């Protein structure tokens, strides 16, 4: 127990120290975890041994399983069906192509063909964990490169199964302990004849789909009725672990099984609940997994034969990148998307660890090949976040339609007074409006596809991440007057705001906020104007609904204005209180009831906020012509608590 | 206090900050200030003067959503009120009418208990397209400026506010830049004299308070 706590302490502490630093340096969290692993591993502070690291890695692989479940939840069956072309075509060709090229090289280096084929198949694998985590962190999952990466990774997951079946046939080395593998290899179906094996596998898949469709919903409803939050978490974990067990039992990849379960549940009303329950486990386990990978990197081998290891590393990555670039192009990816795809998948993945150990046990590969290749695998996983960062910073800007060189000079010449960070559906409207008024606008966005579309309409937008100081400077933040932050990811928006506030304090910042909470944070960070993205539109809908109910248009308009003024004022007031939860709630209640009192008074025809001049009734009362009415005697609305109002 | 100073003529007019106070409150109303020749220069000439608050209504309320409480607070914080605007259809731009309707509340500015503005002084500072000769009986516009301003003067009277003869810049379309600059200097002198209490209201009863007529004769004795 003590040692478990000590281990947990070491891992968590390492992650907490290193990951924020890595993130701060723009290296991404994956590289941070890997570095944390290096730090505590046998080649760093030696707080965990190589063996311990291996054990933890096997345990933490469950994080990958959870990640695939979450990916499945985001992907409903229709979308998955749409992706069948890329999955089979692109994925299939990636695995076959990489295997063929690697095997060819291995043959040329004098390996027997069986070993060459096994090596090729293993090295064709990419790391789902690293690729998806990195792409998601950069907000690229929905991009062309993200979708294609995902398709390839999914195919690789499927391909592991036949590989495990084929490996024993490739055995060239006699193994002392016999051919029975562990983990993915061991299942009771291995002893069945092929048709029964197939039937069991099909049955298991049907069971997952069927249960997802017909069993999970009622079960979740029953769990929800208990009203206990931890029951939901338990149910979600049970679901994922159950599917994992079932899949292992029939010799399928657990990741694939949970992915399938996720897809089946993608349209269910419990999707978000499941997501938020599994997410933290996934995050921690994946982090643990990356740390374990970092700790398991064998620097001894690297020091013994640095040329050999580095050569292998460069060779493997080179082959994978080259092939992916070609395939990406063949499948219609634009150059920059192809580059992201190639670099995202250039590492050898976590499945390789499993496959190498299986290959060792079943006598396919000798130990003197496996050991350096495992080191290469780990190093390639460590290298790929770095390569992604390099790609993003130095390669992509050159590939995008607007070239980096011309960008610099253009910006210099233009001296645009306005920079719009995030030129999607939000930023675009502001940008178009400004341009229509003859104001020069420098648009910056990370979505290069969007840029092409905009380019066709003569709208120039630059590629880049506006949270980076050098990019903001290149975009002319030094001379601009206004910065519009219109990106849709709140964390990104906050980064941009912090960078701009710190280095370009003269800029007036107008920022898009998702909702109140985000608005509070932006106000806290010193943003002058904050715009909740749906506020104005929904208020207009509300006013139009009033009109549809027969309220006079001008009264409805004024009501909406009043509401808006009060609401915006309250956001500012509450922003100051947001760390004091109790005060926040009570103040929010007060504001809501005050506003409601005032608006209702307005509708009743009494003066809510100062329409006295248009209210002849007040004058009649003032002149003593009629007795004072209840409505017009209403005191200052802001101090009038109203028990009937919902807070 | 009014806004921080800037270069004359280039400073953008703005709404007065909340809680501003001083001697003279100048409510500027021009819906297209950037196209204005005269009003912009006039307003710029009094920006940043000690004790003078310049308040651009179209900047403060671009959608006419006038904040009554804020406007009333501004009125209470200044003994002298000036409206500066072009003379549209023998009256004010629309926002000043809206301002009147909303801010000068029954029971506050007039009517029973409506004494908040009693004793204040009011000045119209207006620009017209026509020459001064047009504004007289038999002229193109048939009435004098002061006659045409009667509804406003009476509104002020109802609120217990004394109205001074208007400050008028005539024939704005034909003025040269030098003429405009000359008017602006006169305008600034009037505003400063008002601020310092050097204008003697009892000596002011003419049809208008053109810059040229602002001689020592109307300055309070000993000022």
Q: Give A229-243 pLDDT, tens digit per residue.
A: 788 888 888 988 998
pLDDT at residue A408 is higher than 80: no
* Cβ <8 Å between B107 and A622: yes
Q: What is the pLDDT of residue A464?
A: 76
Q: What is the distance between the alpha carbons of residues A313 and A377, in angstroms, rounded to a whole number?
A: 8
Q: How far apart are CA A529 and CA A518, in angstroms?
A: 13
If you average pLDDT over residues A75-98, what whole number do you get?
87
Chain A residues whose CB is inside 8 A of the B108 CB are 612
Contact A614 B68 (CB under 8 A): no
Question: Is residue B125 classed as helix, strand or coil in its secondary structure?
Answer: strand
- pLDDT at residue B96 tops 90: yes
Q: What is the mean pLDDT of residues A349-359?
A: 80
CB distance A445 to A496 below 8 Å: no
Q: How far is A137 from chain B (nearest CA, A)?
A: 42
Residues 6+ positions from A258 with CB-CB distance below 8 Å: A65, A66, A68, A69, A72, A240, A243, A244, A247
Tell me the per-residue pLDDT of A494-529, one tens digit each, with 9 for 90 and over: 999 999 998 899 999 999 998 888 898 899 888 988
Helix axes A144-166, A128-137, angle to 10 degrees: 170
Q: What is the 3-state secondary structure (H, E, C) of A582-602?
A: HHHHHHHHHHHHHHHHHHHHH
User: pLDDT tens digits for B143-201?
Assistant: 999 999 999 999 999 999 999 989 999 988 888 999 999 899 989 989 998 999 887 66
The length of chain B in residues reads 223
CB A67 within 8 A of CB A133: yes
Range of lowest pLDDT (A176-190, A322-336, A494-508): A176-190
Q: Which residue has the tokens 């109790």?
A: A582
Say how many C-beta atoms besides its own lie within 10 A of residue B108's C-beta. Answer: 18
Query: Rounded to a whole number, what is the distance in Å from the CA of B121 to chain A's nearest CA?
Result: 22
In this prediction, what percent of chain A has a pLDDT beyond 70? 84
B126: left (phi over 0), alpha (psi -120 to 50) or beta: beta
- Interface check for B102 against chain A (CB to CB < 8 A): the answer is yes
Q: Chain B residue with minimal CA distance to A610?
A: B68
Closest of A107, A32, A11 to residue A385, by C-alpha: A32
Residues in chain A within 8 Å Cβ distance of B113: 622
Among A328-332, B64-68, B205-209, the range scoring the smallest mean pLDDT is: B205-209
Q: What is the predicted pLDDT for the residue at A344?
A: 92
Contact in structure between A589 and A647 (CB atoms under 8 Å): yes
For residue B107, which residues of chain A lie inside 8 Å, CB to CB?
Answer: 612, 618, 622
pLDDT at A333: 82
A89–chain B nearest CA distance, Å: 58
- For residues B108 and B116, give the distance between their C-alpha atoms in angstroms, rounded to a whole number: 6
CB contact under 8 A, B63 and A612: no
Confidence of residue A95 (pLDDT cuts 50, 70, 90): very high
Q: Could you tell me which residue, B140 or A592, shows the higher pLDDT? A: B140
User: For residues A551 and B127, what is the distance between their CA atoms, to the nearest angstrom?
Assistant: 40
Pick from A565, A609, A619: CB nearest B106: A619
Q: What is the pTM of this model?
A: 0.52
Mean pLDDT of A261-284: 82
If one counts the domains in chain B, the total is: 1
Inter-chain residue contact A622 with B63, CB threshold 8 Å: no
User: Rounded to a whole number, what is the distance in angstroms from the first to the last CA of chain A?
Assistant: 48
If you average pLDDT over residues A202-206, what whole number do you get?
Answer: 86
pLDDT band for position A568 (cuts 50, 70, 90): confident
Q: B65, A612: Cβ pair inside 8 Å?
A: no
Phi, psi values for residue A504, rounded to 5°:
-130, 65
Length of chain A: 647
- Answer whether residue B221 shows pLDDT above 50: no
Q: CB-based contact (8 Å) between B202 and chain A?
A: no
For residues B31 and A65, the model is more confident at B31
Taking contacts as CB-CB distances below 8 angstroms, the residues of chain A near B106 are 612-613, 618-619, 622
Distance from the Cα of B102 to chain A's closest Cα (Å) equals: 6
Residue B152 lies in a domain: yes
* Contact criterion met (CB < 8 Å) for A622 and B106: yes
- Which residues in chain B touch residue A561, judged by CB atoms under 8 angstroms apart? 63, 65
Residue of A nearest to B70 (CA): A610
Q: Which of A414-423, B3-12, B42-51 has the lowest mean pLDDT?
A: B3-12
Q: Which of A148-152, A432-436, B53-57, B163-167 is most confident?
A: B53-57
Return all residues near B94 (Cβ < 8 A) that are at least 6 apart.
B31, B64
Question: A68: Cβ–Cβ under 8 A, 6 or more apart, which residues?
Answer: A128, A157, A255, A256, A258, A259, A262
Residue A102 is encoded by which pair of tokens? Answer: 């690697």
Asked if this assembly's ipTM is beyond 0.85, the reply is no
Does B105 lie at the interface with A, CB-CB under 8 angstroms? yes
Whether A642 shows a pLDDT value over 60: the answer reads no
* Pairwise CB contact (< 8 Å): B105 & A613: yes
Task: Please check the confidence at residue B2 and state whether its pLDDT lies above 60.
Answer: no
Structure tokens at B146: 């002061």
Q: Which residues of B touch A619 (CB under 8 A)?
A: 106, 111
Q: What is the DSSP letter of B72?
A: H
pLDDT beyond 90 at A314: yes
Q: Does B112 touch chain A (CB under 8 A)?
A: yes
Q: Is the pLDDT of residue B42 over 90?
A: yes
- On whether any CB of chain A is under 8 Å from the CB of B82, the answer is no
CB contact under 8 A, A623 and B112: yes
Chain B residues with beta carbon closer than 8 angstroms to that of A633: none
Cα B137 versus chain centre, distance: 25
B64: chain A residues, CB-CB within 8 Å? none
The CA distance from A267 to the nearest CA of chain B, in Å, is: 44
| CB pair distance less than 8 Å for A622 and B111 | yes
Which residues does A182 contact at the CB level (< 8 Å), separation at least 6?
A357, A358, A361
Pairs of residues, one from chain A and one from chain B, whose beta carbons lie less than 8 Å apart: 32
Identify which of A123, A89, A117 has the alpha carbon closest to the alpha carbon of residue A104.
A117
Chain A residue closest in CA terms to B67: A610
pLDDT > 70? residue B10: no
Q: Output the CA–CA distances (angstroms, integers) from residue B112 to A24, A343, A628, B75, B152, in the order listed.
A: 66, 80, 14, 19, 20
Indicate the pLDDT class of residue A335, thresholds 50, 70 and 90. Answer: confident
- Beta carbons of A152 and A328 less than 8 angstroms apart: no
Mean pLDDT of chain A, nearest integer: 80
Residue range A273-289, pLDDT digits in tens? 788 888 888 888 888 88
Domain A400-530 fold: Rossmann fold (3.40.50)
Q: Which residues of B touch A618 (CB under 8 A)?
A: 106-107
Question: Taking CA atoms, what residue in B is nearest to A564?
Answer: B65
Q: At what angle do helices A92-108 and A113-124 cross, to 10 degrees?
A: 140
Place of tokens 């208007």: B166
Contact B106 A614 (CB under 8 A): no
Instruction: Determine whether B182 is exposed, middle or buried from the number of CB atoms within 10 Å of its CB (0-12, 13-18, 19+).
Output: middle
Q: Where are the domains of chain A?
A: 2-57+74-190+282-398, 400-530, 534-647
Q: Across the interface, which of B69, B111, B112 has its CB nearest the CB of A610?
A: B69
pLDDT in tens, A2-11: 677 888 888 8
pLDDT digits (tens, 9 = 90+) for B48-78: 999 999 999 999 999 888 989 999 999 999 9
pLDDT at A175: 53
DSSP string over A277-310:
HHHHHHHHHHHHHHHHHHHH--HHHHHH-HHHHH
Query: In the predicted model, is pLDDT for residue A450 greater than 80?
Result: no
Q: Mean pLDDT across chain B, nearest whole number?
A: 85
Domain A2-57+74-190+282-398 has CATH 1.10.357.10: no
pLDDT of the residue at A599: 67
Structural domain including B154 reads 24-218
CB contact under 8 A, A622 and B112: yes
Which of A561, A618, A622 is closest, CB to CB, to B65? A561
Which residues of chain A neighbour B63 with C-beta distances below 8 Å?
A: 561
CB contact under 8 A, B106 and A609: no
Q: Tell me the average pLDDT across A82-98.
A: 89
pLDDT over 80 (residue A447):
no
- CB-CB contact of B41 with B180 (8 Å): yes
CB B145 within 8 A of CB B166: yes
Contacts of A611 in chain B (CB under 8 A): 102
Tokens of B51: 């004790």
Q: Does B106 touch chain A (CB under 8 A)?
A: yes
The nearest CA of chain A is from the CA of B101 a distance in Å of: 5
- Alpha carbon dihedral A407, A408, A412, A415, in 10-degree steps, equals 50
Tell whether B62 lies on the interface with A, counting CB pairs under 8 A.
Answer: no
Mean per-residue pLDDT, A546-556: 89
Name the band, by pLDDT with cuts 50, 70 and 90, for residue B94: very high
**Greatest mean pLDDT among A203-212, A448-457, A502-511:** A502-511
- Report the chain A residue with the minimal C-alpha distance to residue B114: A622
CATH number at residue B104: 3.40.50.360
Nearest CA in chain A to B66: A610
| pLDDT in the model for residue A540 | 93
> B109 to chain A: nearest residue by CA?
A613
**What is the average per-residue pLDDT within A433-457?**
80
CB atoms within 10 A of CB A290: 32
The number of C-alpha atoms within 13 Å of A133 and in the hemisphere containing its C-beta is: 29
Choose among A388, A394, A364: nearest CA to A127: A388
Instruction: Give dist(CA A483, CA A469) in Å, integer.
Output: 13
Query: Looking at the predicted structure, is the pLDDT value of residue A112 above 50?
Result: yes
Chain B: residue nearest A560 by CA?
B65
Contact residues on chain A for B104, CB-CB shorter than 8 A:
613
- In the prediction, which pLDDT does A134 show? 85
A609/B104 Cβ within 8 A: no
The model's confidence at residue A615, banded by pLDDT at 50, 70 and 90, is low
Q: Would you say residue A575 has pLDDT above 90? A: no
For residue B98, give how far its alpha carbon lies from the nearest alpha carbon of chain A (Å): 10
pLDDT above 80 (res A172): no
Look at A613 and B101 and tell me if their CB atoms are within 8 Å: yes
Asked if A565's CB is within 8 angstroms of B102's CB, the reply is no
Nearest CA in chain B to A608: B68
């Amino acid at each position: 127990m003590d040692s478990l706590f000590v281990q947990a302490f070491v891992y968590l502490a390492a992650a907490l120290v290193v990951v924020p630093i890595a993130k701060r340096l723009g290296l991404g969290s994956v590289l941070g975890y890997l570095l944390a692993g290096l730090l505590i591993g046998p080649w760093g502070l030696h707080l965990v041994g190589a063996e311990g690291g291996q054990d933890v890695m096997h345990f933490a692989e469950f994080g990958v399983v959870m990640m695939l479940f979450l990916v499945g939840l985001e992907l409903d069956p229709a979308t998955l069906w749409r992706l069948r072309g890329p999955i089979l075509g692109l994925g299939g060709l990636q695995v076959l192509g990489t295997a063929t090229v690697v095997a060819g090289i291995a043959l040329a280096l004098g390996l027997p063909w069986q070993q060459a084929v096994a090596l090729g198949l293993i090295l064709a694998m990419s790391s789902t964990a690293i690729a998806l985590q990195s792409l998601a962190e950069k907000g690229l999952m929905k991009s062309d490169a993200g979708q294609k990466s995902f398709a390839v990774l999914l195919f690789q997951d499927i391909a592991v199964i036949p590989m495990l079946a084929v490996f024993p046939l490739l055995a060239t080395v006699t193994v002392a302990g016999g051919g029975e593998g562990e983990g993915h290899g061991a299942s009771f179906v291995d002893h069945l004849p092929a048709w029964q094996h197939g039937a069991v596998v099909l049955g298991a898949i049907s069971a997952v789909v069927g249960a997802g469709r017909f069993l999970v919903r009622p079960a979740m409803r029953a769990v929800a009725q208990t009203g206990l939050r931890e029951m939901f978490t338990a149910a979600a974990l049970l679901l994922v672990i159950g599917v994992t067990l079932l899949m292992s039992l029939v010799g399928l990849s657990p990741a694939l099984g949970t992915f399938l379960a996720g897809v089946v549940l993608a349209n269910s009303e419990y999707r978000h609940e499941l997501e938020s329950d599994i997410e933290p486990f996934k995050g921690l386990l994946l982090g643990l997994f990356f740390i374990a990978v970092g700790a398991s990197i064998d620097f001894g081998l690297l020091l013994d034969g640095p040329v050999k290891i580095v050569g292998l590393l460069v060779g493997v990555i080179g082959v994978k990148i080259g092939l992916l670039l070609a395939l990406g192009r063949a499948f219609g990816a634009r150059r920059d998307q192809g580059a992201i795809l190639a670099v995202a998948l250039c590492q050898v993945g976590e499945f390789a660890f499993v496959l190498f150990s299986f290959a060792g046990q079943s006598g396919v590969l000798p130990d003197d090949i496996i050991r350096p290749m495992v080191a290469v695998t780990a190093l390639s996983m460590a290298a790929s976040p770095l390569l992604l960062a390099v790609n993003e910073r130095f390669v992509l800007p050159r590939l995008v339609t607007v070239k980096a060189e011309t960008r610099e000079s253009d910006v210099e010449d233009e001296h645009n007074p306005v920079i719009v960070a995030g030129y999607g559906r939000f930023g675009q409207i502001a940008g178009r409006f400004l341009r229509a008024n003859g104001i020069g606008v420098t648009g910056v966005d990370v979505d290069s596809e969007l840029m092409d579309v905009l380019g066709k309409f003569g709208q120039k937008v630059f590629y880049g991440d506006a949270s980076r100081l050098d990019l903001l400077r290149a975009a002319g933040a030094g001379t601009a007057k206004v910065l519009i932050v219109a990106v849709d990811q709140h964390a990104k928006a906050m980064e941009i705001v912090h960078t701009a506030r710190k280095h370009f304090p003269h800029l007036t910042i107008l920022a898009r906020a998702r909702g109140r909470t985000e608005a509070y944070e932006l106000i806290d960070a010193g943003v002058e104007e904050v715009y909740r993205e749906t506020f104005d539109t929904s208020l207009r809908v509300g006013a139009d609904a009033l009109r549809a109910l027969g309220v006079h248009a001008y009264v409805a308009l004024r009501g909406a204005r009043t509401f808006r003024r009060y609401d915006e004022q309250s956001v500012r007031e509450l922003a100051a209180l947001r760390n004091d939860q109790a005060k926040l709630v009570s103040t929010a209640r007060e504001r809501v009831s005050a506003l409601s009192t005032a608006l209702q008074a307005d509708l009743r025809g009494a003066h809510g906020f100062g329409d006295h001049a248009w209210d002849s009734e007040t004058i009649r009362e003032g002149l003593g012509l009629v007795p004072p009415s209840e409505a017009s005697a209403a005191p200052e609305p802001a101090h009038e608590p109203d028990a009937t109002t919902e807070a | 206090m009014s806004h921080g100073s800037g270069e004359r003529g280039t400073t953008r007019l703005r709404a007065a900050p909340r809680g501003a106070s001083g001697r003279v409150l100048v409510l500027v109303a021009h819906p297209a200030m950037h196209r204005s020749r005269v009003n912009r220069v006039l307003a710029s000439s009094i920006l940043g003067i000690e004790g003078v608050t310049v308040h651009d209504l179209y900047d403060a309320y671009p959608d006419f959503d006038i904040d009554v409480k804020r406007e009333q607070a501004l009125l209470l914080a200044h003994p002298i009120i000036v409206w500066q605007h072009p003379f549209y259809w023998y009256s004010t731009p629309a926002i000043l009418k809206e301002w009147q309707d909303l801010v000068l509340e029954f029971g506050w500015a007039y009517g029973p208990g409506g004494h908040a503005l009693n004793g204040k002084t009011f000045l119209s500072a207006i620009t017209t397209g026509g020459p001064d000769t047009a504004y007289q009986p038999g002229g193109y516009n048939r009435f004098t400026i002061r006659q045409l301003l009667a509804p406003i003067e009476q509104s002020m009277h109802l609120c217990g506010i004394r109205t001074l003869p208007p400050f008028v810049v005539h024939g704005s379309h034909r003025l040269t830049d030098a003429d405009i600059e000359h008017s602006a200097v006169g305008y600034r002198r009037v505003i400063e004299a008002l601020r310092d209490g050097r204008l003697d209201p009892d000596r002011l009863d003419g049809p208008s308070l053109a810059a040229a007529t602002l001689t020592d004769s109307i300055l309070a004795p000993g000022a």
